[in-house]
A and B are shown apart, each in its own frame.
Chain A
Amino acid sequence: MNPIVIAKNLTKSYTKGLRALDNVSLTVNQGKVLVVMGPSGSGKSTLIRTFNGLETFDRGELNVLGINIEPNHDERKIQKIRRRVGMVFQQFNLFPHLSILENITLAPVHVQKRSQIEAEDYGMYLLSQMGIDSHAKKYPSQLSGGEQQRVAIARALALKPELLLFDEPTSALDPERINEVLDAMRRLAEQGMTMIVVTHEIGFAKDVSDQVLFMDSGKVIETSTPEIFFSNAQHERSRKFLNQLDKQ
């Protein structure tokens, strides 16, 4: 098993003494899907944002793709990792002034120095994989939320990443639009992509994930397989959270 992310005792506190991350340890192996769940403010987003250096941490050890990330790291060192890790955000964060295809080719051309033609060919391939190649010339504001999020996934894939991070990818979508994004993510998991997904979608977690991690107030409460977590959660806090989700 080839570990992609190894975190040991990650700790991050804010100035008020509030702990965003409290001794978080986890390992994600190649080709595996980890789903991170937990109430809002539990530190899930902070956790996965440390994996590509969008957030720093105070103490602990973190190794992503064989590269050590130090606490309070330097912005420049982290770029080596960011080229190999894709990220998809809750609010899509597409670049509104660029067309869909330009959104996708920007990083391959300017970061990986690939030729424009090669990047466009691969971009069109990714868009057709996502089922939105007919929108290539449009601008983000002309697309629906679900389509925009699929563009964001294609944009993250354009750098041929070895790890994909999803930060609540379906939370900003209309209920009818959620599945088109989840289906795209399912296909990626089937193709063997290593993924860390922050989500509240129980169905997705049950079907796709290899491991579920439950967090509350910065601590890892429980790590188990989805079978155990959703039928027989070990911890009182997890059961309470799942009950709340079921009621919705």
Chain B
Amino acid sequence: MFNITLIILFFQNTRKTLFSNFLNTIISLIFIIVINLICFKAFGWLIHNANWKVITSNLPLYAFGSFPPAEQWRPATWIFSLLSLSIITLFGPEWKWLRKNLLIAWAGTIPLGLYLLYGGIGISPIMSRHFGGLTLSILLTTCSSLFSLPLGIILALCRQSSLPLIRKLSSIYIDVMRAVPLISVLFFGQLLIPLFMPVGIEIDRVWRAIFAFTLFVSAYIAEDIRGGLQSIPSTQIEAASSLGLNKYQIIQFILIPQALRIALPALTNQSIGLFQNTSLMAILGLVELLGVGRSILANPEFIGQYIEVYIWLACVYWFVCTIMAVLARHLEQRMKINQANF
């Protein structure tokens, strides 16, 4: 009974919206046919033609690249810890000590990741050229974000400095970095830095990539934070200075916390963009997630299966970016309660 009324309601609604007159009926019919054709074709391909063996037999490769198989538990542990921390942050209980220590836990994941990947005390050291796949993409993203945030804050503050030289230098830096394409900065990191280095000193390729990403992203972050700084009313500075706080205390306790809150949505954008941009490293010879896909396609066994591979890669990128976006929204929600009412 209930179901029947629902169905009748549905048909009445569609008649009103899609088939209200002759022209609408024709347009609706054409679109329905086109959409159906596309969907049938796509599903037919997915079920009958697609050969998912190219994905399933290479899963460790996508995740860890050429990391020695005996040691793959290490990056696996790291990714698992990141994933479980995300789940705890999103759905975990509201215990006060837990919420307080979550930030420390998040900050701790980067040294943990570096230790697990590079090895050292207790576990065998592994060269960075064995890093790859999703692990490498995440490593590049987290390390570059970690370094570019403080650099971006410093640049933003310098850009508002009262000393003309510092102000000019930082604004030139920001403008130059925003005027060149990311790929050229990455080329600079991979090809030119080794030339500038004295003989015998070599920075490994992963760190050169992180360095280049940091240089580039910090300029954008600086602009986001400058926007945040400028939207803080000057009365906040007056109130703080009339309490006797000095310039640096005002920056530390009043300006930066508020600017970061205001800039948070923009910063999320930057870090999601950064994760996607790590795929550019595939061109420059680092075998991260996209690079793994390309190298698998170059394998004669899987030749021509690029549709399967790229659909799979798109799903993985989508999944990670969605987690990042949801985490950022969660953070925004938590901060909303003490949002500004200037």
Q: Which residues of A contact B (CB under 8 A)?
A: 52, 54, 75-76, 79, 82-83, 85-87, 89, 91, 93-99, 106-107, 110-111, 139-142, 155-156, 159
Contacts and interface: CB of A to CB of B under 8 A. Distances in A.
B341 A82 contact: no
B340 interface: yes
30 contacts: A54-B241, A54-B242, A79-B244, A82-B242, A82-B244, A87-B242, A89-B238, A91-B235, A93-B236, A95-B258, A96-B258, A96-B341, A97-B258, A97-B340, A98-B338, A106-B243, A106-B245, A106-B253, A107-B243, A110-B245, A111-B243, A111-B249, A139-B337, A139-B338, A140-B338, A140-B341, A141-B338, A142-B337, A155-B243, A159-B244
B17 interface: no
Contact of A110 (B235, B236, B253, B340): B253
A107 B238 contact: no
Residue from B243, B257, B261, B339 with most neighbouring chain A CB atoms (10 Å): B243
A125 to B, nearest CB: 18
B244 A96 contact: no
Interface of B: 235-236, 238-247, 249, 253-254, 257-258, 261, 337-342
Given A106-B253, A110-B253, A111-B244, A93 B238 contact: yes
B240 A95 contact: yes
A93 B258 CA distance: 14
Closest 6 CB pairs of A and B: A93-B239, A139-B338, A107-B243, A83-B244, A96-B340, A141-B341
Contacts of A107: 243-245
A107 B239 CA distance: 11
B245 A111 contact: yes
A169 B135 CA distance: 57
A155 B235 CA distance: 15
B7 to A, nearest CB: 48
A185 B140 CA distance: 57
Contacts of A54: 238, 241-242
Contacts of B339: 96, 141
Contacts of A89: 235, 238-239
A58 to B, nearest CB: 20
Interface centre among B242, B246, B254 (most CB of A within 10 A): B242
B157 to A, nearest CB: 17
Nearest to B249: A110
Contacts of A155: 243
Contacts of A87: 239, 242
A93 B337 contact: no
A93 B243 contact: no
B241 A96 contact: no
A100 to B, nearest CB: 10
Given A54-B238, A110-B249, A97 B243 contact: no
Contacts of A96: 258, 338-342
Contacts of B254: 95
Contacts of B243: 82, 106-107, 111, 155-156, 159
Contacts of A106: 243, 245, 253
